[in-house]
């Protein structure tokens, strides 16, 4: 089937993405080795065909893919980052088409990874490679870094960055993996929240007990529920001593980025009835305040029918989003102390930290033409502004985001680079949730923006 309304170039993007997103590359799932490999082969095949040399570099669990097309050591370098791993697709029964059978319905492509992040880097790479075909003498060295562990907290990235620091250092670094306020705007992300994820285990007995013994017997599920309930006040504030100590208020510039974003759009796009209690406006709380979320609870009997037990064990997965200047280590200790204080003498708890990443801030001075940096980020920023205005018909917005890319601070600290992060995900795209999607119209518009930016950027001259 042809999709005439999006044009031949975008159609090639969509066709490739349908194949690429059909390989299940869930980095957290040990049974997805084959899908991880197929995804790497798929994107490596594309890059090789476009003249890139591609190598795989071992990381903690899944190798990352490093591709390059170099012309001369004197030429400036452009680095593109993306991740080929995806989040688990469960709960499967809520998908309207299978998560790894990317399907187009009413102008929208559905499938795990079609937005986050296979979709985003497919758009970027196709725009880049089309432009290279047109202009094979492009005066830039090009590098592409595709990670396979972003969705599990980038455990292999720090070592990789340290080892490849010099080879990676580039005049311009582009990373498309963040959000925007609505479908009509493209954003440039100026900050990301940090992250701390952990597992909380509660044990109250050596084995489950017959609930006929109940009355005096401790119940792990009950204790877990009470511990979790003790982590927030009725006003929505996190009830952990010291949690807000290091929270920095946003600058006037950052605050201004919330101007004319609609809370009603946010509510509708997320498909919620009403916001839960929070401090400040919903948009403020989402970007500038830290959170603590229960990601999942389990324990006891959840199967069909009756099983009258008192569970001996229960578990919760918890994640905190952190803002400047909170530190994941300090928050972990505060949380540990709070949970120990809440824990009754009839239970034992165990806390194991999982992913962590510091909050990240982009140095806004890099965008100013008179800035001290070599000037490429400022130039690319202007190109992005112009192309966005032309193609979206709206101004490029600067905004901090509520999500996290845990490797960002390591990139900044180890390589000194700060990526330009054009963002176009919205709550409608259902990242990490069932029915993840990306409208073809969004793919077409974002593709045209990057196509135009690369065409201009690769013109010889200043």
The footprint of ligand BES (CB under 6 A) covers: 116-117, 150-151, 153, 177-179, 195, 355, 401, 403-406, 425, 431
Asked if 436 interacts with Mn ion (CB under 5 A), we say no
CB of 84 to ligand BES, least distance (A): 11
Asked if 147 interacts with Mn ion (CB under 5 A), we say no
CB of 439 to Mn ion, least distance (A): 18
Element (H, E) at 401: strand 397-401
- The values of phi and psi at residue 345, to 5°, are -65, -15
CB of 177 to ligand BES, least distance (A): 4
CB atoms within 10 A of CB 21: 28
Region of 117-125, 213-221, 320-328, 450-458 interacting with Mn ion (CB under 5 A): 117-125
Read off the tokens for 183: 């479908």
SS (H, E, C) 104-159: EECCEEECCCCCCCHHHHHHHHHHHHHHHHHCCCCCCEEEEEEECCHHHCCCCHHH
Please choose, from the candidates 350, 322, 315, the residue with its C-alpha nearest in 3D space to the C-alpha of residue 242: 322
- Residue 29 interacting partner from ligand BES, Mn ion, none (CB closer than 5 to 8 Å by kind): none
Q: Is 279 left (phi over 0), alpha (psi -120 to 50) or beta?
A: beta
Q: Which is nearer to ligand BES, 151 or 171 (CB)?
A: 151
CB of 9 to ligand BES, least distance (A): 24
- Residue 22 interacting partner from Mn ion, ligand BES, none (CB closer than 5 to 8 Å by kind): none
Read off the tokens for 340: 């120990």
CB of 1 to ligand BES, least distance (A): 30
Region of 113-121, 136-144, 233-241, 444-452 interacting with Mn ion (CB under 5 A): 113-121
How does strand 209-210 pair with strand 309-310? antiparallel
Q: Which is nearer to ligand BES, 69 or 356 (CB)?
A: 356
- 137-to-75, 113, 459 alpha-carbon distances in Å: 12, 33, 10
Q: Which is nearer to ligand BES, 200 or 457 (CB)?
A: 200
- The values of phi and psi at residue 282, to 5°, are -60, -40
CB of 70 to ligand BES, least distance (A): 28
CB of 271 to ligand BES, least distance (A): 16
- Residue 157 interacting partner from Mn ion, ligand BES, none (CB closer than 5 to 8 Å by kind): none
Is the Cβ–Cβ distance between 323 and 359 less than 8 Å?
Answer: yes
In the 8-state DSSP scheme, what is residue 376?
H
- Residue 410 interacting partner from Mn ion, ligand BES, none (CB closer than 5 to 8 Å by kind): none
- In three-state secondary structure terms, 193 is coil
User: Residues 161-200: x/- map of binding to Mn ion (CB under 5 A)?
Assistant: ----------------x-----------------------
Contact residues: Mn ion, CB under 5 A: 116-117, 177
């Amino acid at each position: 089937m042809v999709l005439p309304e999006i044009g031949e170039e975008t159609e090639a993007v969509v066709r490739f993405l349908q194949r690429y997103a059909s390989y299940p590359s869930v980095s957290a799932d040990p049974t997805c080795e084959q899908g991880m490999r197929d995804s790497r082969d798929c994107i490596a095949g594309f890059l090789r065909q476009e003249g890139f040399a591609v190598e795989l570099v071992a990381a903690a669990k899944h190798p990352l893919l490093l591709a390059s097309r170099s012309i001369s050591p004197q030429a400036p370098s452009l680095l593109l980052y993306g991740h080929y791993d995806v989040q688990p697709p469960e709960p499967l029964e809520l998908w309207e088409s299978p998560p790894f059978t990317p399907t187009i319905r009413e102008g929208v492509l559905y499938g795990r990874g079609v937005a986050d992040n296979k979709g985003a880097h497919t758009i970027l790479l196709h725009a880049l490679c089309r432009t290279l075909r047109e202009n094979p003498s492009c005066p830039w060295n090009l590098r592409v870094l595709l990670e396979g562990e972003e969705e599990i907290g980038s455990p292999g990235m720090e070592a990789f960055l340290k080892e490849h620091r010099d080879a990676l250092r580039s005049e311009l670094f582009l990373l498309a993996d963040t959000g925007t306020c609505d479908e009509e705007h493209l954003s440039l992300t100026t900050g990301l929240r940090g992250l701390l994820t952990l597992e909380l285990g509660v044990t109250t007995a050596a084995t489950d007990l017959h609930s006929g013994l109940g009355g005096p017997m401790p119940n792990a599920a009950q204790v877990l529920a009470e511990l979790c309930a003790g982590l927030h006040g009725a006003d929505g504030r996190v009830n952990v001593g010291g949690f807000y100590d290091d929270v920095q208020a946003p600058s006037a510039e950052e605050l201004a980025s919330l101007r004319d974003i609609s809370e009603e759009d946010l509510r509708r796009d997320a498909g919620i009835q009403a916001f839960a209690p929070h401090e400040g406006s919903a948009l403020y709380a989402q970007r500038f305040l830290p959170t603590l979320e229960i990601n999942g609870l389990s324990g006891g009997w959840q199967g069909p029918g009756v099983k009258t037990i008192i569970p001996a064990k229960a578990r919760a997965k918890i994640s905190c989003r952190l803002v400047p200047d909170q530190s994941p280590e300090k928050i972990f200790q505060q949380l540990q102390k709070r949970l120990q204080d809440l824990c009754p003498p009839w239970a034992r708890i165990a806390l194991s930290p999982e992913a962590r990443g510091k909050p990240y801030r982009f140095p806004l001075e890099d965008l100013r033409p008179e800035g001290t940096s070599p000037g490429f980020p400022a130039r690319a920023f202007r190109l992005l502004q112009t192309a966005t205005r032309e193609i979206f018909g709206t101004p490029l917005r600067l905004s901090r985001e509520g999500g996290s890319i845990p490797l960002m601070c390591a990139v900044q600290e180890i390589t000194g680079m700060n990526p330009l992060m054009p963002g176009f995900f919205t709550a409608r795209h259902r990242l990490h949730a069932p029915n993840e999607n990306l409208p073809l119209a969004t793919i077409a518009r974002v593709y045209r923006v990057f196509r135009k930016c690369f065409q201009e950027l690769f013109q010889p001259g200043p």
